[in-house]
């Protein structure tokens, strides 16, 4: 083999190696470029993701800020509402206390009224019993009054009979043993004697009547031995006689027929 051929082969080999190296370098460069591009794309993607995440975080931050502001507003409103609620609660408690006090007062009043009602019922029962007693007493009094009216009628009849039997009584003929005990004559025209005493109904009959100038309601003193025994009040007048009730302050037991009567001053 000639030296030129050997050098040509070496050159070819060297050229081939250089080509291979060039191709390998180009491949490495392409690989590095591709790797760099992939890395760059990855970083750009990561950057976009970071930006998106940042945007999202910013939005979340804005939302949180808004939520915080809304929360603060709500908290302020809640505090105001709480204060108003506390005031309303205090007012309600005071009203409840006043209401409870009013209820206690009303219960006390109800108890008092119940007690008064019981007392009124008791008094009503007593009054009913008293009315019943008074009704019975009224019946008894009516019976007694009927008896008195009957006795009075009988007495008036007797007085009329006496009046008819003795139409005129001459007081001038009355004789008194003691000259100073009573007048011996009519004198003023209103002095006489007791002719009948009714102790059951406390009245007397006097020998003075219309003809002597007597009037209803006129009062006389009953006298014996210059001693005033009592007073009587004219209730019935006839021509020559009259009936007079014995007044309460009189000594009823001492009055008797024959005692003198004199018009009270």
Residue 260, C-beta contacts closer than 8 angstroms, at least 6 positions apart: 176, 181, 182, 183, 191, 192, 193, 194, 222, 223, 224
Averaged pLDDT of the chain: 77
pLDDT, tens digit (0-9, with 9 covering 90-100), for 83-94: 887 888 788 788
Q: What is the pTM of this model?
A: 0.36
Residue closest to 209 by CA, chosen among 201, 200, 218:
218
Statement: residue 32 has pLDDT above 70: yes
Residue 49, C-beta contacts closer than 8 angstroms, at least 6 positions apart: none
167-263 has CATH 1.10.287.130 classification: no
Q: Which residue shows structure tokens 């014995």?
A: 246
- Number of other CB atoms surrounding residue 242 within 10 Å: 27
Query: Cα separations (Å) of 107 from 60, 173, 262?
Result: 65, 86, 71
Question: For the chain, first and last CA: distance in Å?
Answer: 210
175-189, 203-217, 241-255: segment of lowest average pLDDT: 175-189
Q: Is 31 helix (H, G, I), strand (E, B) or coil?
A: helix
pLDDT, tens digit (0-9, with 9 covering 90-100), for 117-129: 678 677 777 767 7
Dihedral over Cα of 26, 29, 35, 38: its sign? negative
């Amino acid at each position: 083999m000639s030296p030129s051929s050997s050098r040509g082969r070496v050159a070819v080999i060297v050229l081939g190696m250089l080509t291979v190296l060039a191709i390998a370098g180009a491949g490495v460069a392409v690989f590095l470029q591709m790797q760099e591009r992939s890395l760059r794309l990855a970083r750009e993607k990561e950057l976009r993701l970071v930006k998106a995440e940042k945007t999202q975080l910013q939005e979340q931050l804005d939302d949180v800020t808004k939520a915080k502001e809304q929360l603060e507003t709500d908290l302020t409103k809640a505090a105001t509402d709480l204060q108003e609620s506390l005031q309303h609660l205090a007012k309600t408690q005071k009203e409840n206390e006043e209401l409870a006090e009013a209820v206690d007062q009303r219960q006390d009043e109800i108890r008092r009224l119940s007690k008064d009602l019981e007392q009124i019922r008791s008094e009503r029962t007593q009054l009913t019993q008293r009315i019943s007693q008074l009704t019975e007493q009224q019946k008894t009094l009516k019976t007694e009054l009927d008896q008195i009216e009957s006795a009075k009628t009988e007495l008036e009849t007797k007085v009329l009979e006496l009046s008819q039997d003795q139409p005129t009584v001459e007081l001038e003929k009355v004789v008194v043993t003691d000259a100073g005990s009573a007048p011996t004559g009519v004198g003023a025209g209103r002095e006489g004697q007791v002719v009948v005493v009714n102790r059951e109904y406390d009245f007397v009959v006097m020998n003075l009547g219309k003809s002597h100038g007597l009037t209803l309601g006129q009062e006389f003193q009953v006298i014996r031995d210059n001693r005033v025994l009592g007073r009587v009040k004219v209730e019935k007048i006839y021509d020559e006689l009259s009936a007079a009730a014995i007044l309460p302050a009189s000594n009823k037991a001492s009055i008797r027929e024959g005692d003198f009567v004199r018009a009270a001053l």
